[in-house]
Structure formats: structure tokens, C-alpha cells
Chain A
Amino acid sequence: EPEVTQTPSHQVTQMGQEVILRCVPISNHLYFYWYRQILGQKVEFLVSFYNNEISEKSEIFDDQFSVERPDGSNFTLKIRSTKLEDSAMYFCASSSGQGDTDTQYFGPGTRLTVL
């Protein structure tokens, strides 16, 4: 069964450094998403991406964040200058975008630790 994959599984970085989180969505899906889950809190939407542009973003997704689909398979989230509060589990998801039955399938997550 097709699945969303994410790399790395765990990333440790110093405050102020740039990080890039990588995702490979399910191959025939058209919509791509990033969510995050700070430890002990609920899962929060960051951004959705369709047709090579951002289709929706939350207040969390400020100028420090960017997304890109650099080739036909990868979808990346870049955090330009990490802060301590960026420490969280980041989940990538993808969906086909087909009507009421549209379902977002999630990857296993990347745990980002900012020191």
C-alpha cells in the first residue's frame, strides 16, 4: 500500500540554523500538507500546497517557513532560522483532493529538536 515517507526521523539543530524537512507524498496525490505537534499539545495545521503554490496557510506559517516541491516526488518544509519553540514533531500529509471522500494520509513524522 502506498505511504507517505519523511526524512530524517529525528533532526537536532542549534537555534538560528536553517533546517529542511523532507517528505515524499503518495505518488498520484495532488495536495500536500505540513502539520506540527508540539509535545503535549494538539496537532496544528501549517500549510497546504497545490499546483505548485500555497493554497492555504495558518498564522503559524510566517516568513520563517517556506515550502517547495523541488522535483516530481519530494515536498520540503524549510525553517529559515530555527527558534527553541520550533521544537516539535512535524508531519507531512498528502491527499488526492477528490470531493467528500478526500482523505489526508500522514507520514511518520520528523522530530525536530532545537537546542
Chain B
Amino acid sequence: AQSVTQLDSHVSVSEGTPVLLRCNYSSSYSPSLFWYVQHPNKGLQLLLKYTSAATLVKGINGFEAEFKKSETSFHLTKPSAHMSDAAEYFCVVRWNQAGTALIFGKGTTLSVSS
């Protein structure tokens, strides 16, 4: 069955240190992949998306993600965490064509300490 798995429910880092949020998907083909962020009491904001043009995708606020087909992964990284990065992060896949459902992972809560 097709699924998306976020490997960590909670990640804690110190300000200025790297961030790694892990995401794996299971599929026999390459889906469209996204990372969304949800700050407390806010809506869902698109961080970045993979569209097959490049395997390394750069997003907003210094985040980037690398699509690795051999590992069926789409991990989110940032070289240096900022306090404002504290939020819930969702790895999201779209299996089918444009206009169809997004399937969300369970989310990873990122905490950043000073």
C-alpha cells in the first residue's frame, strides 16, 4: 500500500545547529512530494516541493530537501536552526495527477532551544 512515514514525531535542536526531519514514502513510482509547516494556531504553509526538475529542492526560510529515489526518501534539512523554526512539519505526497488528494504524514514537532 502507498504510504508516507515521518520517522520522528519530535525533534529537538539548539539554535544555530542543523535540522534534519526525515520522511520516507512507499510507492512503485515517484510521487509529487511536498513539505508543509504549521506554526501554532496558524494554517499550513508550503515550505518546498519536488517536481522532478531537480533532486535537491530549495524552499523558504533556508530549508531544503533532497529526493532520493533509491532510498524512497525526501528528508528536510536546514544548516542552522532559528527559534522561529519551532513548528509542526508535515511531509506530504500526491500520488496522482494535479487536482487530487494530498496525503499527509503524521507530522514532526520541531523544538528549538536557545
**Is A105 interfacial (CB 8 A cutoff)?**
yes
B44 touches A48 (CB 8 A): no
**Is A31 interfacial (CB 8 A cutoff)?**
yes
A48 touches B100 (CB 8 A): yes
B102 touches A91 (CB 8 A): no
- 1/0 per residue, CB under 8 A from B, across A90-107: the answer is 010101111111111111
Given A50-B99, A58-B101: A103 and B46 within 8 A (CB)? yes
- Determine the residue in chain A with the shortest Cβ distance to B96: A56
B104 touches A43 (CB 8 A): yes
- 1/0 per residue, CB under 8 A from A, across B38-74: the answer is 0000111110010110000000000000000000000
Which chain A residues (28-82) contact chain B, with CB distance < 8 Å?
30-31, 33, 35, 41-45, 48, 50, 55-56, 58
- Determine the residue in chain B with the shortest Cβ distance to A44: B104
B98 touches A98 (CB 8 A): yes
B44 touches A55 (CB 8 A): no
**Is B75 interfacial (CB 8 A cutoff)?**
no
- Determine the residue in chain B with the shortest Cβ distance to A108: B43
**Is A109 interfacial (CB 8 A cutoff)?**
yes
Given A42-B105, A42-B107, A109-B43: A100 and B52 within 8 A (CB)? yes
A-B contact pairs, 20 of them (CB 8 A): A33-B101, A35-B102, A42-B105, A42-B106, A42-B107, A45-B101, A91-B43, A93-B44, A95-B98, A97-B99, A98-B98, A100-B51, A102-B32, A102-B94, A102-B98, A103-B49, A104-B102, A106-B45, A107-B43, A108-B42
